[in-house]
Amino acid sequence: MTLSKQFSKVASAVAMIMLLSLVIYTSYDALAVTRYYAGYRLQENYFGVSGSIYTIDPDVTGENIFAQWVCIVIDPARGYWVQIGYTKGFDTDYNLVFYAEVNDNYGYEIRFFGTPEPGDTYTYTIVADTYNGTRVWHGYIRQGGTLLYEIIIPADPIASYELQAFSEASTTDIVIDGTHFSGLAYYTGRDFLYWYTHTVYVSSPYWIEEISDYEFMAWGGGSVNPPQPLGMSIVG
Amino acid sequence: MKKAFVVIGIGLAVSLLLTLFAGYEAFISNGSNTEGSPVITDINSNGGGNSPQTIIIGDARGTTGSAEIRGIPSFEELGGKIITKEQLNNFLRKKGLSIYVPKWVPEGLKLAAIWADTSKGIDFPIILVYSDGNDTDYKVSENKLVIEIRGFVNETMFEQITNKTLFEYYLSKGATPIIKDGELIGVIFDDAYCPTCVTCKTLPLAIVRIDNIEYWINYKDVNSIIELVRSMTQTDSLT
Protein backbone atom coordinates (compact mmCIF):
# COMPACT_ATOMS: atom_id res chain seq x y z
CA MET A 1 0.00 0.00 0.00
CA THR A 2 1.37 3.41 -0.95
CA LEU A 3 1.83 6.19 1.57
CA SER A 4 -0.87 8.31 -0.03
CA LYS A 5 -3.38 5.45 0.15
CA GLN A 6 -2.57 4.93 3.82
CA PHE A 7 -2.92 8.66 4.42
CA SER A 8 -6.23 8.64 2.57
CA LYS A 9 -7.56 5.82 4.75
CA VAL A 10 -6.53 7.61 7.98
CA ALA A 11 -8.11 10.84 6.77
CA SER A 12 -11.33 9.00 5.90
CA ALA A 13 -11.39 7.48 9.38
CA VAL A 14 -10.90 10.92 10.96
CA ALA A 15 -13.76 12.33 8.87
CA MET A 16 -16.02 9.42 9.87
CA ILE A 17 -15.20 9.95 13.56
CA MET A 18 -16.08 13.62 13.21
CA LEU A 19 -19.38 12.82 11.51
CA LEU A 20 -20.12 10.23 14.21
CA SER A 21 -19.38 12.88 16.86
CA LEU A 22 -21.97 15.12 15.22
CA VAL A 23 -24.57 12.33 15.37
CA ILE A 24 -23.74 11.56 19.01
CA TYR A 25 -23.80 15.25 19.90
CA THR A 26 -27.23 15.66 18.31
CA SER A 27 -28.55 12.60 20.16
CA TYR A 28 -27.09 13.88 23.41
CA ASP A 29 -28.80 17.19 22.86
CA ALA A 30 -32.12 15.40 22.51
CA LEU A 31 -31.49 13.42 25.69
CA ALA A 32 -30.37 16.50 27.59
CA VAL A 33 -33.96 17.43 28.47
CA THR A 34 -34.39 14.35 30.67
CA ARG A 35 -35.24 15.31 34.23
CA TYR A 36 -35.59 13.35 37.46
CA TYR A 37 -37.91 14.67 40.16
CA ALA A 38 -38.79 14.01 43.77
CA GLY A 39 -41.48 15.96 45.52
CA TYR A 40 -45.08 16.93 46.14
CA ARG A 41 -47.94 18.38 44.14
CA LEU A 42 -51.04 20.13 45.46
CA GLN A 43 -53.56 19.68 42.66
CA GLU A 44 -55.54 22.84 43.38
CA ASN A 45 -55.46 26.19 41.63
CA TYR A 46 -54.31 28.45 44.44
CA PHE A 47 -52.53 31.68 43.63
CA GLY A 48 -49.66 31.42 46.06
CA VAL A 49 -47.17 28.84 47.28
CA SER A 50 -44.53 28.83 49.98
CA GLY A 51 -42.03 26.31 51.34
CA SER A 52 -38.84 26.07 53.35
CA ILE A 53 -36.01 24.15 51.71
CA TYR A 54 -32.84 22.97 53.41
CA THR A 55 -29.86 23.72 51.16
CA ILE A 56 -27.78 20.76 50.04
CA ASP A 57 -24.67 20.98 47.88
CA PRO A 58 -24.40 17.89 45.69
CA ASP A 59 -21.64 17.32 43.18
CA VAL A 60 -22.75 18.39 39.71
CA THR A 61 -20.53 17.87 36.70
CA GLY A 62 -20.75 18.10 32.93
CA GLU A 63 -23.78 19.58 31.18
CA ASN A 64 -26.01 18.91 34.18
CA ILE A 65 -28.17 20.80 36.60
CA PHE A 66 -29.68 20.31 40.03
CA ALA A 67 -32.46 22.45 41.51
CA GLN A 68 -34.93 22.51 44.38
CA TRP A 69 -37.91 24.79 44.07
CA VAL A 70 -41.51 25.75 44.69
CA CYS A 71 -43.72 26.47 41.70
CA ILE A 72 -47.11 27.61 40.50
CA VAL A 73 -48.00 25.69 37.35
CA ILE A 74 -49.97 28.11 35.20
CA ASP A 75 -50.88 25.84 32.32
CA PRO A 76 -49.86 22.28 31.39
CA ALA A 77 -50.83 22.42 27.70
CA ARG A 78 -48.79 25.52 26.93
CA GLY A 79 -46.05 24.69 29.44
CA TYR A 80 -46.46 27.87 31.50
CA TRP A 81 -45.15 28.12 35.05
CA VAL A 82 -43.39 30.37 37.57
CA GLN A 83 -40.87 28.96 40.05
CA ILE A 84 -38.37 30.08 42.66
CA GLY A 85 -35.65 28.07 44.37
CA TYR A 86 -31.96 27.37 44.37
CA THR A 87 -29.83 25.55 41.85
CA LYS A 88 -26.39 24.46 40.77
CA GLY A 89 -25.24 23.49 37.30
CA PHE A 90 -23.19 24.10 34.22
CA ASP A 91 -24.91 27.42 33.68
CA THR A 92 -24.06 28.71 37.19
CA ASP A 93 -20.41 27.71 36.91
CA TYR A 94 -21.29 24.92 39.35
CA ASN A 95 -22.00 27.48 42.09
CA LEU A 96 -25.08 27.31 44.29
CA VAL A 97 -27.35 30.23 43.41
CA PHE A 98 -30.92 31.32 43.99
CA TYR A 99 -33.06 31.63 40.90
CA ALA A 100 -36.45 32.68 39.60
CA GLU A 101 -37.86 31.25 36.38
CA VAL A 102 -41.00 32.04 34.44
CA ASN A 103 -42.60 30.87 31.21
CA ASP A 104 -45.87 32.57 30.22
CA ASN A 105 -47.57 34.80 27.63
CA TYR A 106 -44.68 37.27 27.91
CA GLY A 107 -42.06 34.60 27.19
CA TYR A 108 -39.35 32.78 29.10
CA GLU A 109 -36.71 33.98 31.51
CA ILE A 110 -34.50 32.57 34.23
CA ARG A 111 -32.58 34.84 36.57
CA PHE A 112 -29.79 33.76 38.90
CA PHE A 113 -28.81 35.78 41.96
CA GLY A 114 -27.22 35.46 45.40
CA THR A 115 -25.58 32.53 47.11
CA PRO A 116 -27.44 30.13 49.39
CA GLU A 117 -25.30 28.60 52.13
CA PRO A 118 -25.21 24.79 52.24
CA GLY A 119 -26.83 23.63 55.49
CA ASP A 120 -29.05 26.70 55.78
CA THR A 121 -32.81 26.67 55.28
CA TYR A 122 -34.51 29.36 53.22
CA THR A 123 -38.21 30.00 52.72
CA TYR A 124 -39.32 30.55 49.12
CA THR A 125 -42.65 32.19 48.40
CA ILE A 126 -44.57 33.11 45.24
CA VAL A 127 -47.86 34.97 45.41
CA ALA A 128 -50.08 36.76 42.90
CA ASP A 129 -50.03 40.47 43.56
CA THR A 130 -50.11 43.90 41.95
CA TYR A 131 -47.05 46.12 41.53
CA ASN A 132 -47.33 49.64 40.10
CA GLY A 133 -50.76 48.75 38.73
CA THR A 134 -49.55 45.61 36.97
CA ARG A 135 -50.39 42.03 37.86
CA VAL A 136 -47.25 40.29 39.02
CA TRP A 137 -45.97 37.16 40.62
CA HIS A 138 -44.31 38.45 43.77
CA GLY A 139 -41.47 36.27 44.99
CA TYR A 140 -39.75 36.33 48.35
CA ILE A 141 -36.71 34.50 49.71
CA ARG A 142 -36.37 34.64 53.46
CA GLN A 143 -33.97 33.22 56.01
CA GLY A 144 -35.64 33.03 59.39
CA GLY A 145 -37.30 36.42 59.82
CA THR A 146 -34.99 38.19 57.40
CA LEU A 147 -36.19 38.98 53.91
CA LEU A 148 -33.20 38.49 51.63
CA TYR A 149 -34.72 38.92 48.18
CA GLU A 150 -37.89 40.25 46.69
CA ILE A 151 -38.62 39.22 43.10
CA ILE A 152 -41.09 41.00 40.83
CA ILE A 153 -42.30 39.09 37.76
CA PRO A 154 -44.95 40.66 35.50
CA ALA A 155 -47.57 37.98 34.95
CA ASP A 156 -49.79 37.32 31.97
CA PRO A 157 -52.07 35.54 32.34
CA ILE A 158 -52.64 35.31 36.07
CA ALA A 159 -53.78 31.75 36.43
CA SER A 160 -52.99 28.67 38.43
CA TYR A 161 -53.38 25.00 37.61
CA GLU A 162 -51.56 23.45 40.58
CA LEU A 163 -48.75 23.97 43.09
CA GLN A 164 -45.52 21.97 43.12
CA ALA A 165 -42.46 21.56 45.36
CA PHE A 166 -39.70 19.47 43.82
CA SER A 167 -36.09 18.45 43.81
CA GLU A 168 -34.94 18.21 40.19
CA ALA A 169 -31.83 16.71 38.62
CA SER A 170 -30.78 16.22 35.01
CA THR A 171 -28.91 12.99 35.79
CA THR A 172 -29.28 10.26 38.37
CA ASP A 173 -25.58 10.71 39.15
CA ILE A 174 -26.58 13.67 41.31
CA VAL A 175 -27.00 12.60 44.94
CA ILE A 176 -29.85 14.45 46.68
CA ASP A 177 -29.35 12.98 50.17
CA GLY A 178 -30.42 15.44 52.86
CA THR A 179 -33.23 16.97 50.81
CA HIS A 180 -35.81 18.41 53.19
CA PHE A 181 -38.86 20.48 52.25
CA SER A 182 -41.04 21.75 55.10
CA GLY A 183 -43.82 24.22 55.80
CA LEU A 184 -45.37 23.84 52.35
CA ALA A 185 -48.20 26.33 52.26
CA TYR A 186 -50.80 27.73 49.85
CA TYR A 187 -52.23 31.22 49.72
CA THR A 188 -55.92 31.71 50.40
CA GLY A 189 -55.96 35.36 49.34
CA ARG A 190 -55.46 36.40 52.93
CA ASP A 191 -53.20 33.83 54.64
CA PHE A 192 -50.77 31.06 53.90
CA LEU A 193 -52.02 27.73 55.17
CA TYR A 194 -50.27 24.37 55.26
CA TRP A 195 -51.05 21.98 52.40
CA TYR A 196 -53.89 19.72 53.50
CA THR A 197 -53.27 17.01 50.90
CA HIS A 198 -50.57 16.09 48.43
CA THR A 199 -49.64 13.80 45.56
CA VAL A 200 -46.15 12.32 45.44
CA TYR A 201 -44.16 12.23 42.23
CA VAL A 202 -40.75 10.57 42.31
CA SER A 203 -38.55 9.45 39.44
CA SER A 204 -36.49 6.33 40.07
CA PRO A 205 -33.81 6.03 41.53
CA TYR A 206 -34.78 8.80 43.94
CA TRP A 207 -36.75 8.13 47.11
CA ILE A 208 -39.11 10.20 49.18
CA GLU A 209 -40.30 10.00 52.77
CA GLU A 210 -43.68 11.59 53.35
CA ILE A 211 -43.56 13.20 56.80
CA SER A 212 -46.85 15.06 56.39
CA ASP A 213 -48.93 16.78 53.72
CA TYR A 214 -46.55 19.73 53.97
CA GLU A 215 -43.18 18.14 54.72
CA PHE A 216 -41.01 15.52 53.03
CA MET A 217 -37.45 14.31 52.81
CA ALA A 218 -35.78 12.77 49.78
CA TRP A 219 -32.54 11.08 48.87
CA GLY A 220 -30.90 8.80 46.35
CA GLY A 221 -28.87 9.07 43.20
CA GLY A 222 -25.24 8.30 42.53
CA SER A 223 -23.88 4.89 41.74
CA VAL A 224 -25.22 3.14 44.84
CA ASN A 225 -28.77 3.56 46.10
CA PRO A 226 -29.22 3.81 49.86
CA PRO A 227 -31.15 1.08 51.70
CA GLN A 228 -34.89 1.48 51.62
CA PRO A 229 -36.13 3.15 54.81
CA LEU A 230 -39.62 2.78 56.25
CA GLY A 231 -42.44 5.04 55.16
CA MET A 232 -41.28 5.92 51.68
CA SER A 233 -43.10 6.03 48.40
CA ILE A 234 -41.98 5.47 44.89
CA VAL A 235 -44.00 6.71 41.99
CA GLY A 236 -43.08 6.99 38.36
CA MET B 1 -2.47 12.30 -2.38
CA LYS B 2 -4.85 14.98 -3.65
CA LYS B 3 -7.75 12.76 -2.60
CA ALA B 4 -6.33 12.57 0.92
CA PHE B 5 -6.20 16.36 1.19
CA VAL B 6 -9.82 16.61 -0.01
CA VAL B 7 -10.94 14.12 2.68
CA ILE B 8 -8.98 15.97 5.37
CA GLY B 9 -10.50 19.20 4.15
CA ILE B 10 -14.01 17.77 4.51
CA GLY B 11 -13.10 16.47 7.97
CA LEU B 12 -11.83 19.86 9.08
CA ALA B 13 -14.94 21.57 7.70
CA VAL B 14 -17.19 19.16 9.63
CA SER B 15 -15.05 19.75 12.73
CA LEU B 16 -15.37 23.51 12.34
CA LEU B 17 -19.15 23.25 11.91
CA LEU B 18 -19.37 20.97 14.95
CA THR B 19 -17.36 23.40 17.07
CA LEU B 20 -19.43 26.36 15.91
CA PHE B 21 -22.66 24.42 16.61
CA ALA B 22 -21.49 23.38 20.10
CA GLY B 23 -20.36 26.92 20.77
CA TYR B 24 -23.74 28.30 19.69
CA GLU B 25 -25.55 25.83 21.94
CA ALA B 26 -23.33 26.77 24.88
CA PHE B 27 -23.91 30.41 24.03
CA ILE B 28 -27.67 29.92 24.13
CA SER B 29 -27.52 27.77 27.26
CA ASN B 30 -25.40 30.29 29.10
CA GLY B 31 -27.80 33.00 28.15
CA SER B 32 -25.37 35.37 26.56
CA ASN B 33 -27.99 35.99 23.91
CA THR B 34 -30.39 38.85 24.37
CA GLU B 35 -33.52 36.73 24.10
CA GLY B 36 -34.55 34.42 26.93
CA SER B 37 -31.27 35.02 28.59
CA PRO B 38 -30.44 33.72 32.02
CA VAL B 39 -28.68 36.62 33.66
CA ILE B 40 -26.35 36.07 36.60
CA THR B 41 -27.11 39.05 38.78
CA ASP B 42 -24.63 39.81 41.49
CA ILE B 43 -23.99 36.13 42.04
CA ASN B 44 -21.91 36.66 45.21
CA SER B 45 -24.30 39.07 46.84
CA ASN B 46 -26.45 37.77 49.65
CA GLY B 47 -28.87 40.66 50.11
CA GLY B 48 -29.51 40.18 53.77
CA GLY B 49 -29.94 42.48 56.74
CA ASN B 50 -32.91 44.76 56.71
CA SER B 51 -32.53 45.83 53.10
CA PRO B 52 -33.62 43.02 50.79
CA GLN B 53 -32.41 43.11 47.24
CA THR B 54 -35.15 43.49 44.66
CA ILE B 55 -34.93 41.45 41.48
CA ILE B 56 -37.20 42.66 38.68
CA ILE B 57 -37.85 40.41 35.72
CA GLY B 58 -39.27 42.45 32.85
CA ASP B 59 -42.15 41.64 30.51
CA ALA B 60 -39.85 41.76 27.44
CA ARG B 61 -38.75 38.18 27.78
CA GLY B 62 -37.28 35.69 25.39
CA THR B 63 -39.34 33.64 22.99
CA THR B 64 -36.72 31.14 21.99
CA GLY B 65 -39.14 28.22 21.73
CA SER B 66 -37.56 25.61 23.93
CA ALA B 67 -35.39 27.51 26.28
CA GLU B 68 -36.45 26.04 29.59
CA ILE B 69 -33.49 25.17 31.74
CA ARG B 70 -35.22 24.08 34.95
CA GLY B 71 -38.93 23.61 34.18
CA ILE B 72 -41.50 21.20 35.55
CA PRO B 73 -42.52 17.56 35.04
CA SER B 74 -44.65 17.19 31.92
CA PHE B 75 -48.42 16.68 32.02
CA GLU B 76 -48.11 13.04 30.92
CA GLU B 77 -45.39 12.34 33.51
CA LEU B 78 -47.85 13.50 36.17
CA GLY B 79 -50.73 11.36 34.93
CA GLY B 80 -52.04 13.09 31.82
CA LYS B 81 -53.48 10.39 29.53
CA ILE B 82 -55.74 10.01 26.52
CA ILE B 83 -59.23 8.92 27.55
CA THR B 84 -62.27 7.79 25.57
CA LYS B 85 -65.48 9.77 25.05
CA GLU B 86 -67.20 7.22 27.26
CA GLN B 87 -64.74 7.84 30.09
CA LEU B 88 -65.27 11.59 29.73
CA ASN B 89 -69.05 11.16 29.76
CA ASN B 90 -68.85 8.96 32.87
CA PHE B 91 -66.72 11.62 34.57
CA LEU B 92 -69.26 14.34 33.71
CA ARG B 93 -72.15 12.16 34.86
CA LYS B 94 -70.42 11.26 38.13
CA LYS B 95 -69.65 14.92 38.88
CA GLY B 96 -73.03 16.15 37.65
CA LEU B 97 -71.29 18.54 35.26
CA SER B 98 -71.98 19.97 31.85
CA ILE B 99 -69.30 21.36 29.59
CA TYR B 100 -69.46 23.52 26.48
CA VAL B 101 -67.99 22.27 23.21
CA PRO B 102 -67.95 24.00 19.82
CA LYS B 103 -70.54 23.05 17.22
CA TRP B 104 -68.29 24.60 14.60
CA VAL B 105 -64.55 24.12 14.19
CA PRO B 106 -62.31 25.28 11.33
CA GLU B 107 -62.48 23.15 8.18
CA GLY B 108 -60.19 20.12 8.14
CA LEU B 109 -60.12 19.75 11.92
CA LYS B 110 -61.81 16.97 13.86
CA LEU B 111 -61.67 15.73 17.43
CA ALA B 112 -58.51 13.60 17.48
CA ALA B 113 -57.98 13.01 21.21
CA ILE B 114 -59.30 13.74 24.67
CA TRP B 115 -56.72 14.07 27.42
CA ALA B 116 -57.36 14.18 31.15
CA ASP B 117 -55.45 14.20 34.40
CA THR B 118 -55.74 10.59 35.58
CA SER B 119 -53.40 10.79 38.58
CA LYS B 120 -56.34 10.50 40.98
CA GLY B 121 -58.98 9.14 38.65
CA ILE B 122 -60.20 11.25 35.75
CA ASP B 123 -60.21 14.94 36.53
CA PHE B 124 -59.63 18.39 35.05
CA PRO B 125 -57.97 19.56 32.98
CA ILE B 126 -59.82 17.89 30.12
CA ILE B 127 -57.96 18.72 26.91
CA LEU B 128 -59.74 18.37 23.58
CA VAL B 129 -57.33 18.10 20.64
CA TYR B 130 -58.71 18.91 17.19
CA SER B 131 -56.39 18.16 14.28
CA ASP B 132 -56.35 16.50 10.87
CA GLY B 133 -56.70 13.28 12.86
CA ASN B 134 -53.05 12.29 13.08
CA ASP B 135 -51.86 14.70 15.74
CA THR B 136 -53.16 13.63 19.14
CA ASP B 137 -50.59 15.46 21.28
CA TYR B 138 -52.09 17.73 23.95
CA LYS B 139 -49.30 20.27 23.58
CA VAL B 140 -50.37 23.47 21.90
CA SER B 141 -49.03 23.98 18.40
CA GLU B 142 -49.80 25.98 15.28
CA ASN B 143 -51.38 23.12 13.30
CA LYS B 144 -54.27 22.26 15.56
CA LEU B 145 -56.98 23.52 17.86
CA VAL B 146 -56.51 22.74 21.55
CA ILE B 147 -59.35 23.39 24.00
CA GLU B 148 -58.33 22.94 27.60
CA ILE B 149 -61.21 22.71 30.04
CA ARG B 150 -59.53 23.75 33.28
CA GLY B 151 -62.38 23.36 35.75
CA PHE B 152 -63.85 25.85 38.15
CA VAL B 153 -62.44 29.35 38.46
CA ASN B 154 -60.79 30.59 41.62
CA GLU B 155 -60.49 34.32 41.20
CA THR B 156 -61.76 35.84 44.40
CA MET B 157 -58.38 37.02 45.63
CA PHE B 158 -57.70 39.07 42.48
CA GLU B 159 -60.94 40.89 42.82
CA GLN B 160 -60.02 41.57 46.44
CA ILE B 161 -56.64 42.96 45.40
CA THR B 162 -57.71 45.08 42.45
CA ASN B 163 -61.45 45.61 42.67
CA LYS B 164 -61.56 44.52 39.03
CA THR B 165 -62.40 41.27 37.39
CA LEU B 166 -59.57 39.54 35.64
CA PHE B 167 -61.24 40.06 32.25
CA GLU B 168 -61.53 43.82 32.85
CA TYR B 169 -57.84 43.86 33.71
CA TYR B 170 -56.88 41.93 30.58
CA LEU B 171 -58.96 44.25 28.40
CA SER B 172 -57.19 47.25 29.93
CA LYS B 173 -53.93 45.60 28.85
CA GLY B 174 -55.08 45.25 25.23
CA ALA B 175 -56.69 41.80 25.08
CA THR B 176 -59.48 41.26 22.52
CA PRO B 177 -62.94 40.78 24.08
CA ILE B 178 -65.19 37.84 23.24
CA ILE B 179 -68.83 38.86 23.52
CA LYS B 180 -71.66 36.35 23.32
CA ASP B 181 -75.30 37.41 23.60
CA GLY B 182 -74.13 40.81 24.83
CA GLU B 183 -72.06 39.33 27.62
CA LEU B 184 -68.28 39.45 28.00
CA ILE B 185 -67.42 35.75 28.31
CA GLY B 186 -63.75 35.79 27.40
CA VAL B 187 -60.65 37.53 26.13
CA ILE B 188 -58.04 36.70 23.54
CA PHE B 189 -54.32 37.35 23.82
CA ASP B 190 -53.34 37.71 20.18
CA ASP B 191 -49.61 37.16 20.68
CA ALA B 192 -49.24 34.74 23.56
CA TYR B 193 -45.83 33.09 23.78
CA CYS B 194 -46.08 29.50 22.55
CA PRO B 195 -43.09 27.49 23.83
CA THR B 196 -44.50 24.28 22.33
CA CYS B 197 -44.97 25.70 18.81
CA VAL B 198 -42.53 24.70 16.11
CA THR B 199 -42.61 27.36 13.41
CA CYS B 200 -43.87 30.39 15.33
CA LYS B 201 -43.09 32.06 18.62
CA THR B 202 -46.60 33.16 19.53
CA LEU B 203 -50.11 31.80 19.06
CA PRO B 204 -53.45 33.34 20.04
CA LEU B 205 -54.81 32.19 23.40
CA ALA B 206 -58.42 32.72 24.45
CA ILE B 207 -59.57 32.46 28.04
CA VAL B 208 -63.31 31.87 28.21
CA ARG B 209 -65.60 31.32 31.18
CA ILE B 210 -68.99 29.74 30.89
CA ASP B 211 -70.99 28.69 33.95
CA ASN B 212 -67.88 29.36 36.08
CA ILE B 213 -65.81 26.78 34.20
CA GLU B 214 -62.70 28.11 32.48
CA TYR B 215 -61.67 27.15 28.94
CA TRP B 216 -58.29 27.95 27.38
CA ILE B 217 -58.58 27.85 23.60
CA ASN B 218 -55.48 27.78 21.42
CA TYR B 219 -55.70 28.31 17.67
CA LYS B 220 -53.78 30.24 15.05
CA ASP B 221 -56.64 32.49 13.91
CA VAL B 222 -58.39 34.96 16.22
CA ASN B 223 -61.55 35.25 14.09
CA SER B 224 -61.96 31.47 14.04
CA ILE B 225 -61.60 31.39 17.82
CA ILE B 226 -64.37 33.97 18.19
CA GLU B 227 -66.61 32.02 15.81
CA LEU B 228 -66.06 28.69 17.53
CA VAL B 229 -66.57 30.19 21.00
CA ARG B 230 -69.89 31.63 19.84
CA SER B 231 -70.84 28.15 18.62
CA MET B 232 -70.10 26.48 21.94
CA THR B 233 -73.08 24.62 23.31
CA GLN B 234 -73.75 22.82 26.53
CA THR B 235 -73.44 19.08 26.75
CA ASP B 236 -73.19 16.49 29.47
CA SER B 237 -72.36 13.75 27.01
CA LEU B 238 -69.91 14.02 24.13
CA THR B 239 -71.00 12.14 21.01
Q: What is the ipTM of this complex?
A: 0.78
Residue ranges, chain A, pLDDT below 50: 20-32, 227, 229-236
Tell me which chain B residues have a C-beta less than 8 angstroms from the C-beta of A111: 38-39, 41, 55, 57
Q: Is A43–B119 a contact, with Cβ atoms under 8 angstroms apart?
A: yes
Residues A21 and A40 both lie in one domain: no
Tell me which chain A residues have a C-beta less than 8 angstroms from the C-beta of B119: 43, 199
pLDDT of residue B90: 96
pLDDT of residue B195: 87
Residue A34 forms contact with B (CB below 8 Å): no
Residue A21 forms contact with B (CB below 8 Å): yes
Residues A5 and A85 both lie in one domain: no
Distance CA A69, CA A107 (A): 20
Residues A204 and A160 both lie in one domain: yes
Strands B213-218 and B202-210, by their bridges, are antiparallel
Task: Using the predicted structure, report yes or no on whether residue B128 has a pLDDT greater than 90.
Answer: yes
Q: Is B40–A92 a contact, with Cβ atoms under 8 angstroms apart?
A: yes
Query: Residue A5 is part of which domain span?
Result: 1-31
Residues A11 and A104 both lie in one domain: no
Of A8, A15, A107, the CB nearest to B193: A107
Task: Using the predicted structure, report yes or no on whether residue B108 has a pLDDT greater than 90.
Answer: yes
Residues A86 and A128 both lie in one domain: yes
pLDDT tens-digit readout, A44-61: 989 999 999 999 999 999
Which of B28, B29, B69 should be substituted to probe chain A, the one whose Cβ sees the most A Cβ atoms within 10 Å?
A: B69
Confidence of residue B43 (pLDDT cuts 50, 70, 90): very low
For B149, phi then psi, to 5°, come to: -95, 105
The distance of A225 to chain B (nearest Cα, Å) reads 23
For chain A, first and last CA: distance in Å?
58
Of A65, A90, A147, the CB nearest to B70: A65
Residues A201 and A85 both lie in one domain: yes
Q: Which of A114, A175, A140 is nearest to A52 (CA)?
A: A140
Of A111, A147, A158, the CB nearest to B38: A111
pLDDT tens-digit readout, A62-71: 999 999 999 9
pLDDT tens-digit readout, B143-175: 999 999 999 886 666 565 555 678 888 898 899
Residues A59 and A70 both lie in one domain: yes
pLDDT of residue B38: 38
pLDDT of residue A24: 40
Task: Using the predicted structure, report yes or no on whether residue B67 has a pLDDT greater than 70.
Answer: no
Which of B7, B42, B57 should be substituted to probe chain A, the one whose Cβ sees the most A Cβ atoms within 10 Å?
A: B57
Q: Which helix (H) or strand (E) holds A193?
A: strand A192-194
Q: Structurally, how many domains does chain A consist of?
A: 2
For chain B, first and last CA: distance in Å?
72
Residues A156 and A49 both lie in one domain: yes
Task: Using the predicted structure, report yes or no on whether residue B179 has a pLDDT greater than 50.
Answer: yes
Confidence of residue B76 (pLDDT cuts 50, 70, 90): very high
Contact in structure between B148 and B216 (CB atoms under 8 Å): yes
The distance of B91 to chain A (nearest Cα, Å) reads 17
pLDDT of residue B21: 43
pLDDT tens-digit readout, B215-237: 999 999 999 999 999 999 999 88
Per cent of chain B over pLDDT 90 is 54
Residues A117 and A194 both lie in one domain: yes
Residue A32 forms contact with B (CB below 8 Å): no
For residue A179, what is the domain's CATH number? Answer: 2.60.120.1270
Span B173-185, average pLDDT: 91
The distance of B205 to chain A (nearest Cα, Å) reads 9
Lowest-confidence range among A204-208, B39-43, B69-73, B94-98? B39-43
Residue B205 forms contact with A (CB below 8 Å): yes
More confident residue, B177 or B2: B177
Residues A5 and A22 both lie in one domain: yes
Residue B224 forms contact with A (CB below 8 Å): no
Of A7, A63, A154, the CB nearest to B4: A7
Residues A45 and A100 both lie in one domain: yes
Provide the CB-side half-sphere exposure for A183 (13 A, CA): 12
Residues A8 and A125 both lie in one domain: no
Residue B49 forms contact with A (CB below 8 Å): yes
Distance CA B50, CA A198 (A): 35
**CA distances to A14, A23, B70 from B9, in Å:** 11, 19, 40
Q: Is B123–A236 a contact, with Cβ atoms under 8 angstroms apart?
A: no
